[in-house]
Amino acid sequence: MAYAERVLDYYNNPRNAGTLDKSSPQVGTGFIHVPEYIEVVRIQIEVSPKRHVIMDARFKTFGCGAAIAATSITTEWLKGKTIEEAAKLDHMNIVEALSLPPAKIHCTILIEDAVKAAINDYREKNGMGPLSEEEELEELEEEEY
């Protein structure tokens, strides 16, 4: 399969691969696997407690090259966002940012889920309760990747 150059770039030079301290109250971890798919995606965010801004984001992915590139670019996007902004991530924005073929859209759905799971993990650790449905359903504003 021929991928856009950007996919190859992120695959060859993954940004933000790594691990944050799962036990830290400032770290939210989202670890997603859906039985039908082979991919396993883990996204971690480190959030500043005052304004709930994501200071750092890390990933690890078991999956195809597109899944690896897509998780990596997502962590870049997450940095500097508030957790409310981050919760509005739409997987189709990842698809567009990397010009992924339709067959790879399922990878980005897992990533969207992992981001939301990471945010929820952080919120729960900090007594905020999980994301409300409205927050999840809000349309993502135009964001620049």
Partner 1 sequence: MLKLPVYLDYNATTPCDQRVVEAMLPYFSEAFGNASSRNHSFGWAAEAAVDLAREQVAALIGADPKEIIFTSGATEADNLAMKGVFEMYADKGNHIITTEIEHKAVLDTCKHLEKLGAEITYLKVNSDGFPDLKELEAAITSKTILVSIMYANNEIGVINPIKEISAVAKKHGVLMMSDISQAAGKVPVDVNRDGIDLAAFSAHKLYGPKGVGALYVRRKSPRVKITAQMDGGGHERGMRSGTLNVPGIVAFGKACEICQQEMEAEGQRLSVLRDKLENALLQLEETVVNGSKTNRLPHATNISFRYVEGEALMMGFNKHLALSSGSACTSASPEPSYVLKGLGLTDDMAHSSIRFALGRFTTEEEIDYAIQTVTETVNKLREISPLWEMFKEGADMSSIEWSRL
Which helix (H) or strand (E) segment holds residue 74: the answer is helix 65-78
Q: Give percent helix, percent strand, percent coil of the chain, each to the nearest 5.
A: 45, 20, 35
- Select 39 or 83, whichever has its Cβ closest to partner 1: 39
CB of 134 to partner 1, least distance (A): 15
CB of 76 to partner 1, least distance (A): 15
Rule CB under 8 A: which residues touch partner 1? 1, 3, 8, 11, 14, 17, 19, 29-33, 36-42, 59-65, 67-68, 103, 105-106, 113-114, 116-118, 120-121
Residue 13 burial (CB < 10 Å; 0-12/13-18/19+)?
exposed
Q: Which residues are 42's β-sheet partners?
A: 31, 60
- Select 98 or 118, whichever has its Cβ closest to partner 1: 118
CB of 99 to partner 1, least distance (A): 15
